[in-house]
Amino acid sequence: MLIRPKTGILDPQGEAVQASLATLGFPVTSARVGRLVDLEVATDDVQAARVEVERMCAELLANPLIESFEIVAEEP
């Protein structure tokens, strides 16, 4: 799953990345840093797994106040 700081939420890590890239001469207009969590769930039911992963995100892995998340399912 992909976890990003919501639009409008301050992202000091992203600002540092953008400033460093600019110093090195890379023409980047914006940088935002988020988290990536790869989970393996043992199931045959992709739909049910997606619902479970959504609960994991909302309850543990993301902070819904300041972060948005996106779930990308990949079958083995």
Q: Does 50 bind its own copies (CB under 8 A)?
A: no
Positions in 14-33 near its own copies (CB under 8 A): 14, 17, 20-21, 24, 26-33
Question: From CA 57, how far away is CA 70, in angstroms rounded?
Answer: 9
Q: Which of 37, 16, 11 is nearest to 28 (CA)?
A: 16
Size of the site for its own copies (CB under 8 A): 32
Q: Least CB distance from residue 64 to its own copies, whole Å? A: 17
Give yes or no for residue 71 binding its own copies (CB under 8 A). no
CB atoms near residue 69 (< 10 Å):
20
